Amino acid sequence: MNVTYDEYGRPFIILREQANKRRVKGLEAQKLHILAAKSIAAIMKSSLGPRGMDKCLIGPDGDVTLTNDGATILNEMHVEDQIAKLLVQLSKSQDSEIGDGTTGVVVLAGALLEQAEQLLDRGIHPSRVAKGYEMAAEVAVQTLHKISEKIEFSRENIKPLEDIVSTSLGSKIVNRVQRDMASIAVRAVLAVADLERKDVNLDLIKLTGKVGGKLEDTRLIDGIVLEKDFSHPQMPTEVKDAKLVVLTAPFEPPKLKTKHDVNLSTVDQFNELGRIEQDYFLDMIDKVKKSGANLVICQWGFDDEANHLLLANDLPAVRWVGGVEIELIAIATGARIVPRFSEITPEKLGKAGSVKEVTFGTTKDRMIVISECANSKAVTIFVRGGNKMIIEEAKRSIHDALCVARTLIRDNSVVYGGGSAEIACSLAVEQSADQVSTVEQFAVRAFAAALDAIPLALSENSGLPAISTLSTIKALQQKENNPRLGVDCMSKGTNDMKAQGVFESLISKQQQILLATQVVKMILKIDDVLKQGSF
């Protein structure tokens, strides 16, 4: 390697080995692609299940992320290989569609590629492997439908939802309070859900946190929490029966959009300008007071003069409230967002039972809690924890729980966890392979073997003998015709996942199999990687 300089003095490197480099293609390229994807899956495998390990990710600036959430790990890893990036996108797809199962889908994709590599070595064409995988995926999805069960729930009976959401929190950092967190997530989703349309808008659930306290102090607030305080320290810290006006107009005189200058030559002229400005403020305050409002929420800031006049006129105000928060406040309180002071009317005011400024511990951090809102279609989950890392991981865990609850409201079908669904699908796919008379039969059997990777990983992460555990459960499932039998990760003395209360959403499990199959088919059909503009 030599370093030389161009005509502008900029250094660049000449590689002596450049002439020996070649572009890999064909079967050799496919094996390299599979190797890259398998290495990503191997990293993720140890994070699977309730006994899975966490990953400590250190960013370029030294910031530390501690998590076992698959989507977060892959997003923070900064993967360079183009094929490995497909697995990162796979995890992101699972996260955006379902919100849970981001680790399992990558592990399954890695297992499918590992099995495919053996088939390629035996001379089977990649297209035949992809076709066999597609046939096996259809059988697996049909099997999931067959073994699934419907759960019944209502706004009054939320225990079935809590049981299932609690399963998704079992492998998270919040597992010691997983039941409480599951209850919070379910109640938050039901507060914003339309059960008739089976629709949930998660944007109406605000997730925020503050360092201090314990995870047990996390609570659900029927309203909005703002990380703000009242604009003047002498304003009252609580407003009962608040009638609030939500403004996107600045509480100050308009600034001229011209380049003209105003020259003041006497003291009287200066005083006159100050009086005009004050009258402008007083006119704004008068319009707010006449509408019946006793609280102002403003998107923009205002100077000390306006702040003093607001205090003098007994009108509490909160400034610098962001656009997303303003929309949530408007939804929760039934307010209309007002862009001009001239448009303020009593009909556009929002109503809340209490708007209170609260202080936390010795940190003097202040927040405003808007509760008892006229319309509870917007809620806030307020997370507490000992440090920032715990709060961030708790927020990620609760987000997964919210997504699981949303999925169950859309479709209340469930399958059982602990790898029981994968084992049942593996047995069904293995049996269906006998009906395939073409070379795709080998790919179908390979798909069945790949499905076993999930219970194998669960067994390994739980400290159990993986192969003997899997073979025992498979034999029991066949003998008893019981698809609920899975890996006893928590050592509760039974392999029946229904007895343990371990559930998973049917949609989540189907999505894992279909997405993993789709991405593996894409990787198998790539036999060359070309840079754009290289020819």
Beta bridge partners of 174: none
Q: What ranges in 199-315 are assigned the alpha helix state H?
A: 267-290, 304-312
Mind spelling out the 3-state secondary structure of 23-56?
Answer: CCCCHHHHHHHHHHHHHHHHHHHCCCCCCCCCEE
φ, ψ of residue 258 to 5 degrees: the values are: -130, 170
End-to-end, the C-alpha distance of the chain in Å comes to 26
**Catalytic residue list contains 69:** yes
Euclidean distance between CA atoms 409 and 399, whole angstroms = 15
Given 65, 67, 72, 103, the catalytic residue: 103
Coil, strand or helix: which one is 238?
A: strand
Given 400, 452, 488, 496, the catalytic residue: 400
Coil, strand or helix: which one is 210?
A: strand
Secondary-structure percent of the chain, ordered helix, strand, coil, rounded to 5: 50, 15, 30
- 56 CB burial (10 A radius; 0-12, 13-18, 19+): exposed
**Secondary structure E strands in 333-444:** 337-338, 350-360, 365-373, 379-385, 413-416
Given 69, 100, 222, 488, the catalytic residue: 69
Instruction: Count CA atoms within 13 Å of residue 166 on its CB side.
Output: 15
Euclidean distance between CA atoms 141 and 511, whole angstroms = 9
**Catalytic residue list contains 400:** yes
Give the number of other Cβ atoms within 10 Å of residue 328's Cβ.
Answer: 25
Q: For the residues of 310-364, what is the DSSP string, one character each?
A: HHHTT--EE----HHHHHHHHHHHT--EESSGGG--GGG-EEEEEEEEEEEGGGT
Beta bridge partners of 362: none
Q: Tokens for 106?
A: 């990558």
Q: Tokens for 499?
A: 């007895």
* Contact assessment for residue 383 and residue 397, using Cβ atoms and an 8 Å cutoff: no
Helix 178-192 to helix 388-410 angle (10° resolution) is 50
DSSP state of 366: E
Instruction: Write out the H or E segment, with its range, that includes residue 194.
Output: strand 193-194
Given 102, 333, 380, 517, the catalytic residue: 102
Going by C-alpha positions, the residue among 417, 390, 381, 383 that lies closest to residue 100 is 417
Going by C-alpha positions, the residue among 344, 346, 232, 349 that lies closest to residue 283 is 344
Helix and strand numbers (H, E) in the chain are 17, 19
Coil, strand or helix: which one is 106?
A: helix
Euclidean distance between CA atoms 329 and 338, whole angstroms = 13
**Catalytic residue list contains 103:** yes
Euclidean distance between CA atoms 364 and 439, whole angstroms = 70
Task: Give the active site residues.
Answer: 69, 102-103, 400
